[in-house]
DNA sequence: CGAATCTTTGAAAGACGTCAACATTGGTGG
DNA sequence: CCACCAATGTTGACGTCTTTCAAAGATTCG
């Protein structure tokens, strides 16, 4: 069996961005085999659902599947966009680095999510850095092929557009929530949103492990504030904390804290 | 000569959203005549540039041009989207109303800007309310026709997508700026952005008149804070204020206040 | 077992929003 | 054309929410 082992750091990033794969012997306990879009169970959810069977078959030859490790960078902000990435398994975060060195998480993507499509359509640069939150499998389709699909398949174009429109609403809702809501409201909204989108782990906690720093970054707080709020809620019995695991124990209360307009974090 | 006089309030909104026009005698000193997309000088800028001549000609029959007065509502949040609106002349603001009754301005659109395309592609509802900031001419194309264009003209689809992608970046940059920046930084960034996008009036002030409330709403501040900051800057000689007219007198200083990452407000 | 990373807590300073009173402006009807 | 009222703008005082800084525990991973 051939295992595909991602390289670390900059080298790995180049590797994945260029659609190359480095093959070595290794101990990664996950088969990083080639995945056919035709077989991909995520088809129904992802934006590829409107592709015709022959279009999917055609993808087989040009797409690649990359295995990335936790903390590995998949692409950097301002890099030239090489194509479209689709998360097959795992979770990644998209963030921007600000002038003062701090980072702002824009989005956390999970299986079936498409990433990189905005730079693809826009000015050809990635707008954010993408980093794996856990070991993940990420498929990649070169942009030439994506453009071809857009021109030949109007439904695909519409789906992609809808995807983007969705992102806007999310970004907009976020900027509104951020502006008009307090730290607590934002954090409550974020936890509810994360629970909804990532589901529950076996112990009932949100199935997404973030450092306090990341959780704070997601909600526009500093780490200390996030910690204080969480511990306050723990004392009130609204959440149960266990390391990075967060379980919402009083959902009603959490919802009332988040406020009405919290459809999206 | 027939003048087209917009109705006020809800009635007017219905009128424009349904693409109907009410024709009456009146004193509006602006000809609200039908404008052909073929002739429209904004063609080069707007997303219609990739339409073929025959497609533009075909638009003639189905599009309409509406004249709206200052403060008039062009469409309401959650209304069903009837089609695409293109500003021919004037300025409008897009805002959301929050549960507490306060409003958050998402965008200010000017001539050649397209509005309503997100609801068109998304769930079919307008995501924001659109209100004229000054007397304006707004063209309207029914959505069926837009979908037709998207299916038949891949370049148009791409252009529309690029437009949307642009909006996202704007929304995202805004949410980042809002989160990580102070009131002053946000206001400074907003003024620079407004100056860049709306240009200068004869007296060197930003060619866009907003109430203090609107200016505050745009930057996520309360009116009082915006006023205090503006007056502070006036004392420091960074801006000159004259009613709603705001002139940036020390651009370098303003830029340094706004901070590095202020490509977009 | 360290070293690095991540988490927690406290104290103090500052930014910003709220409230309330008042000034100014613009538009409307008489 | 003027008076008046509603909308808009201004200012001060005050309280609260957040951030910042600092220092110390806890955890993770090699």
**What confidence tens digit (pLDDT) does each residue in B39-65 have?**
777 777 777 888 888 888 888 888 888
- Structure token digits, residue B232: 């502070």
Q: Say how many CB pairs under 8 Å bridge A and B.
A: 109
Q: Which of A35, A17, A21, A24 has its CA nearest to residue A1?
A: A24
Q: Are A112 and A35 in contact (CB under 8 A)?
A: no
Give A35-41's long-range contacts (Cβ < 8 A, gap of 24+). A35/A65, A35/A88, A35/A137, A35/A139, A36/A60, A37/A63, A37/A139, A40/A88, A40/A139
Task: Report the nucleotide nearest the CA of residue A220, measured to C1'.
Answer: D18
Q: Which residues of B touch A152 (CB under 8 A)?
A: 154
- Helix (H) or strand (E) run with residue A222 in it: none
Phi-psi label, residue A204: left if phi above 0, alpha if psi -120 to 50, beta otherwise? left
Check residue B10 and give its pLDDT.
Answer: 31
Check residue A261 and give its pLDDT.
Answer: 62
Q: Which residues of A touch B127 (CB under 8 A)?
A: 169, 172
Q: Which of residues 215-244 of A touch B (CB under 8 A)?
A: 220
Strand D: list positions under 7 Å from protein Cβ. 8-13, 17-22, 27-28
Phi-psi label, residue A254: left if phi above 0, alpha if psi -120 to 50, beta otherwise? alpha
Contact B102 A151 (CB under 8 A): no
Q: Is B169 in the A-facing interface, judged by CB distances under 8 Å?
A: yes
Strand C: list positions under 7 Å from protein Cβ. 6-11, 15-20, 25-26
Q: Which residue is nearest to nucleotide D27 (CA to C1')?
A: A243
Q: Which residues contact B25 (CB under 8 A, 6 or more apart)?
A: B3, B5
Q: Give the span between the Cα atoms of B140 and B53, in whole angstroms.
A: 18
| A227: CB within 7 A of chain C nucleic strand | yes
pLDDT band at B198 (very low <50, low <70, confident <90, very high): very high
Q: Which of B63, B264, B56, B84 has its CA nearest to residue B172?
A: B264
Q: Give the span between the Cα atoms of A206 and A188, in whole angstroms.
A: 13
Q: Which residue is nearest to nucleotide D26 (CA to C1')?
A: A243
Q: Give the span between the Cα atoms of B109 and B87, in whole angstroms.
A: 8
- Structure token digits, residue A54: 């022959």
- Helix (H) or strand (E) run with residue B25 in it: none
Mean pLDDT of B229-253: 95
| B244: CB within 7 A of chain D nucleic strand | yes
% of chain B surpassing 90 pLDDT:
38
Instruction: Using CB atoms, pick whichever of B118, B121, B261 lies closest to residue A98.
Output: B261
List the pLDDT tens digit at each of the 265 positions of chain A: 223 333 333 333 333 332 223 322 233 333 446 777 877 777 777 778 888 888 888 888 888 888 888 888 999 989 999 899 999 889 999 988 877 777 888 888 988 888 888 888 777 889 889 999 988 999 999 999 988 888 888 888 888 888 877 877 777 777 777 778 899 999 999 999 999 989 999 999 999 999 999 999 889 899 999 999 999 999 999 999 999 999 999 999 999 999 866 555 5
Q: Which residues contact B145 (CB under 8 A, 6 or more apart)?
A: B59, B62, B63, B83
Q: B113 vs chain A: nearest CA distance in angstroms?
A: 17
Check residue A183 and give its pLDDT.
Answer: 94
Q: Give the span between the Cα atoms of B3 and A247, in whole angstroms.
A: 63
Check residue B100 and give its pLDDT.
Answer: 72
Q: Are B209 and B203 in contact (CB under 8 A)?
A: no
Average the pLDDT over each of A133-137, A162-166, B5-9, B126-130 and give the range with the smallest value.
B5-9
Check residue A121 and give its pLDDT.
Answer: 78
Q: Which of residues 68-87 of B touch A (CB under 8 A)?
A: none
Contact B180 A220 (CB under 8 A): yes
**D17 C1' – A220 CA distance, angstroms?**
14
**D20 C1' – B246 CA distance, angstroms?**
34
Residue B7 has pLDDT above 90, yes or no: no
Check residue B158 and give its pLDDT.
Answer: 82
Q: Is B23 exposed, middle or buried (0-12, 13-18, 19+ CB in 10 A)?
A: exposed
Q: A150 vs chain B: nearest CA distance in angstroms?
A: 7
Q: Are B246 and B192 in contact (CB under 8 A)?
A: no
Check residue B81 and give its pLDDT.
Answer: 93
| A70: CB within 7 A of chain C nucleic strand | no
Q: Give the span between the Cα atoms of A187 and A183, in whole angstroms.
A: 6
Helix%, strand%, coil% for chain A, nearest 5: 45, 20, 35
Instruction: Using CB atoms, pick whichever of B100, B102, B259 lies closest to residue A99.
Output: B259
**D10 C1' – B242 CA distance, angstroms?**
14
| B240: CB within 7 A of chain D nucleic strand | no
Q: Is B144 in the A-facing interface, judged by CB distances under 8 Å?
A: no
Residue of B nearest to A174 (CA): B175
Task: Report the nucleotide nearest the CA of residue B70, measured to C1'.
Answer: C27
Contact A158 B121 (CB under 8 A): yes
Q: A194 vs chain B: nearest CA distance in angstroms?
A: 18
């Amino acid at each position: 069996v051939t295992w595909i082992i991602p390289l670390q750091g900059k080298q790995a990033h180049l590797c994945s961005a260029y659609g190359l794969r480095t093959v070595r012997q290794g101990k990664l306990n996950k088969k990083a085999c080639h995945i056919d879009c035709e077989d991909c169970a995520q088809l129904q959810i992802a934006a590829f659902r409107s592709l015709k069977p022959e279009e999917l078959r055609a993808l087989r030859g040009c797409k690649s599947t990359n295995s990335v490790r936790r903390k590995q960078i998949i692409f950097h902000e301002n890099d030239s966009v090489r194509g479209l990435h689709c998360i097959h398994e795992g979770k990644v975060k998209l963030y921007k680095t600000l002038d003062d060195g701090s980072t702002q998480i824009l989005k956390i993507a999970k299986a079936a999510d498409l990433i990189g499509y905005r730079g693809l359509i826009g000015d050809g640069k990635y707008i954010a850095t993408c980093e794996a939150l856990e070991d993940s499998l990420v498929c990649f389709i070169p942009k030439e092929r994506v453009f071809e699909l857009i021109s030949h398949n109007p439904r695909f174009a519409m789906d992609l557009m809808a995807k983007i429109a969705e992102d806007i609403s999310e970004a907009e809702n976020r900027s509104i929530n951020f502006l008009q809501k307090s730290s607590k409201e934002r954090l409550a909204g974020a936890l509810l949103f994360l629970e909804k989108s990532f589901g529950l782990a076996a112990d009932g906690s949100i199935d997404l492990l973030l450092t306090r720093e990341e959780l704070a970054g997601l909600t526009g707080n500093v780490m200390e504030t996030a910690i204080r709020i969480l511990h306050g809620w723990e004392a009130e019995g609204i959440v149960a904390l266990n390391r990075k695991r967060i379980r919402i124990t009083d959902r009603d209360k959490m919802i009332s804290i988040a406020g009405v307009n919290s459809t999206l974090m």
